[in-house]
A and B are shown apart, each in its own frame.
Chain A
Amino acid sequence: MTITLPAVPLPATINPWFSAAMIAAVVLTSTTGEVLTAAAMKSIGDLDVIRAHSGLKGAIRAVLTSPLFFVGVFFLALAFFSLLFALNHLNLSLVGPASASLTLVTNAVAGKIFLKENVDRRRWASAVLVCIGVYLLAH
């Protein structure tokens, strides 16, 4: 998410471990949020089918009555606030691309382990290519 902040000079020297920890916090919380949200949507079932049977209200009700969905959204909110915290200490040009691209790779790992998705060579290659590509595009 793009956040516009007033131009405040950032401190010149930040402990590199602290920077890495802030980026890691963004990546870990957003990966947890994405995986939990994906798990919730898989347990709810195909939303297009639900909507065809019980209308838009039925589909919204199916999502809003899933506790797992709210746990996922909680972690996505946590990811947003850790991004805000990181932006308070680091430049957007570092935090934005680094978190967006690293999340693709951590999601591939987490998708394989926790969602038991079939992450074959094709998906690994694609995750790595898109990861580097997004970094170059957003930088």
Chain B
Amino acid sequence: MVHHSLSPRQYLILGLVAVSAPLGDSCLSRGMASMPPITLAHPASLIAAVFTPWIALGITLLIGFFASYLTALSWADLTFVLPATAFGYVIIALLAHFWLHETISLERWAGIVLVTLGVGFVAQGPSLTQHPAPDAESADREPLESEVETR
């Protein structure tokens, strides 16, 4: 197996996946919490909610998350992307601690340590499984510039 190291741009995309999902969720949660309770009798109020600042920001972040997640999956394994981007939970917990001065329980510190260890494990390995070429022609061809770059 060829060891795949990622380019700085690819690390940036993984970072975006990690941070935009929890941040987007937090924005949605904050926006929805400040809304009056929404009932099925008035579904139009749900449409109006989309245009409030926090929810609009949350949706924008989640669209950004999905675009960068799909990009990451196009050049890295699912079993690499999912654990690696779980680091976002750690970033958010630490931001909440140092920026918003929230207290982190012992249980959560243990979680931070375990996620960090897991991400460290997976990040040291290859990011993409090399499958044998499906036919001789593709095996013989010159590697694309991008393929050389990611190896």
Taking CB atoms and an 8 Å cut-off, the chain B residues in 61-104 that contact chain A are: 70-71, 73-75, 77-83, 86, 89-90, 93
Please name the residue on chain A nearest to B27 by beta carbon: A2
Known: A37-B70, A41-B70, A118-B126. A104 touches B78 (CB 8 A): no
Q: What interface size band does chain B fall in?
A: 35 or more
Please name the residue on chain B nearest to A97 by beta carbon: B111
- Are the C-beta atoms of B29 and A2 separated by less than 8 Å? yes
Partner of B79, one of A2, A4, A117, A132: A117
- Are the C-beta atoms of B125 and A35 separated by less than 8 Å? no
Whether A20 is near chain B, meaning CB under 8 Å from some CB there, is no
CA distance A130 to B121 in the complex (A): 10
Partner of B83, one of A34, A45, A130, A139: A130
CA distance A12 to B121 in the complex (A): 41
Chain B residues near A48: list those with CB within 8 A.
Answer: 9-10, 71, 74-75, 146
Taking CB atoms and an 8 Å cut-off, the chain B residues in 107-128 that contact chain A are: 107-108, 110-119, 121-122, 124-126
CA distance A49 to B75 in the complex (A): 10
CA distance A10 to B139 in the complex (A): 59
CA distance A41 to B81 in the complex (A): 13
CA distance A19 to B125 in the complex (A): 37
Taking CB atoms and an 8 Å cut-off, the chain B residues in 35-84 that contact chain A are: 37, 70-71, 73-75, 77-83
Known: A6-B37, A133-B111. A117 touches B78 (CB 8 A): yes
Partner of B111, one of A1, A44, A118, A135: A135
Whether B26 is near chain A, meaning CB under 8 Å from some CB there, is yes
- Are the C-beta atoms of B29 and A133 separated by less than 8 Å? no
Whether B1 is near chain A, meaning CB under 8 Å from some CB there, is yes
In order of increasing CB-CB distance, the 3 nearest A-B pairs are A136-B111, A133-B114, A129-B118
List A residues at the B interface (Cβ < 8 Å). 1-4, 6, 34-35, 37-38, 41-42, 44-49, 52, 63, 103-104, 107-108, 111-112, 115-120, 122-123, 125-130, 132-139
A-B residue pairs in contact (CB < 8 Å), sample of 21: A3-B29, A34-B82, A38-B73, A38-B77, A38-B78, A44-B74, A48-B9, A48-B74, A48-B75, A49-B146, A63-B70, A104-B82, A116-B129, A117-B78, A123-B83, A129-B121, A130-B83, A130-B119, A133-B115, A136-B108, A139-B107
